[in-house]
Structure 1
Amino acid sequence: MSGCCDSDCGLQPVQQRQRTTLRAVLAINAVMFVVIVIGALYARSSALLADSLDNFGDALTYALSLYAVSRGATVKAKVALFKGVLILLAACAVAGQIIYRLSVPSVPVFELMGLFSVLALLANSLCLYLLWRHRHEDVNMSSVWECSRNDIAANISVFLAAGGVWLTGSGWPDIVVALALVLLLLRSAWRVISSAWRELQQAGTG
């Protein structure tokens, strides 16, 4: 006789695939956080710093998602809610950095911005590819997919900001892109938090 019921046996392969994918993207984002934050500090770029904080938030997100893989719907929804709060905090951190750059103006090093944004784009494209098949499996993996998709938009934006700094010789393109990333993070936080909240309400009334 089987040691698990049919539904559990059906879920186990899916959960194992989710764990494998989450471990891979967690490692990628942890490494990229260190690499990009060093690049951001040397380049004096708010947009690149926003990108590095996004990688740090993603690493925490993937770690939490890994924990939630085999848990119930309520736990997954709570983890997704916490991830939404992390995205919101990242938006606030970038907004604070923008205020600092406005009070202490500087021109970022566009060569470093471009180089590190391309490195981040390659790494996050790999993450997006790995997460693609999991994007509709549950609220946990859906929120992970949301984070990864944001990363691609952020990387492209930073690369464009580097071009803008090169063309204008000023730090304004960096500031403008950083502001756009704040709005992107706020939108993502709203979507993840509202989705998780709906899941919690359904679990409470189910």
Structure 2
Amino acid sequence: MAKNCCDAADVGDAHNDPQWRRILWVALALNAIMFAVEIVAGIAADSRALQADALDFLGDSANYAISLGVAGMAIAWRARAALAKAATMLAFGVWVLGSAIWGFFVEASPEPGTMGAIGSLALAVNLAVAAMLFRYRSGDANMRSVWICSRNDAIGNIAVLAAAIGVFGTGRAWPDLVVASIMAGLAVWGSAEVFKQARGELRST
């Protein structure tokens, strides 16, 4: 009988699956490219939300590289890698929140057209990555952290598009800054999920 592709036991062995590694390499390349595109666009458009999303792409690139490095190792090493990624997600959240608060004081003036165009491209990329990683969402903490990053990225991209509409409709910067703050909250929430599961896996070993 054919195995269920979402079965937890099947997914648990995916670190030795060449398909898992191929997906991570594709995700790594896409995230690195989008970081370069979005950081340039974010600075040009004076958008804190785009800049935050760009740094998120950079962080995800590092996370995928770490996941590739520990693929096939014992679960304890994978759990330690997940702890490192949780710390990265937390640091990203704190930085984005500080940047958003700073934006209120310097009177940022984001450009909604660029925000909408780049946000749509980023959403398409993240949805593609999330679709590729969907079957691995119930794996160990290391796999789950990769899935959570992709899930949060797609939600963040939708929020960036909402911010672009808000900036266009109001002519004010606050929708961009509010969305940047929401993205910070997602990063902190995601890091807490990964940290909790990774700690449990370390205790079990």
Query: Is the TM value for this pair above 0.5?
Result: yes
* Aligned sequence identity (%): 38
Per-residue deviation, 1:116: 0.5
Q: 1:59-106 CA distances to partner (integer Å, 9 max, x unpaired)? A: 000000011111000000000000000000101111121122122012
Q: 1:24-57 CA distances to partner (integer Å, 9 max, x unpaired)? A: 1000101000001111101111111111111011
Q: What is residue 143 of structure 1 aligned with on the other side?
A: 145
Alignment of 1:29-48 (within 5 A): 29-48=31-50
Rounded to whole Å, the distance in 2 between the matches of 1:24 and 1:184 is: 24
- Aligned partner of 2:109: which letter? V
Q: Given the alignment, which residue of 75, 78, 81 partners 2:80? A: 78
Per-residue deviation, 1:14: 4.5
Gaps of 5+ in 2: 1-11
Q: What is residue 21 of structure 2 aligned with on the other side?
A: 19
Per-residue deviation, 1:171: 0.1
Aligned residues: 194
- Aligned partner of 1:34: which letter? A
Residue 43 of structure 2 aligns to a residue whose secondary structure is: helix
- Aligned partner of 1:117: which letter? G
Q: What is residue 3 of structure 1 aligned with on the other side?
A: none
Residue 17 of structure 2 aligns to a residue whose secondary structure is: helix
Alignment of 1:1-206 (within 5 A): 11=13, 14-203=16-205
- Aligned partner of 1:110: which letter? P
Rounded to whole Å, the distance in 2 between the matches of 1:81 and 1:11 is: 20
Deviates more, 1:128-137 or 1:50-59: 128-137
Rounded to whole Å, the distance in 2 between the matches of 1:184 and 1:20 is: 27
Per-residue deviation, 1:153: 0.2
Per-residue deviation, 1:12: 7.6
Per-residue deviation, 1:133: 1.5
If the length of structure 2 is used for normalisation, what is the TM-score?
0.91
Q: Is the 8 A contact 2:14 2:20 kept in 1?
A: no
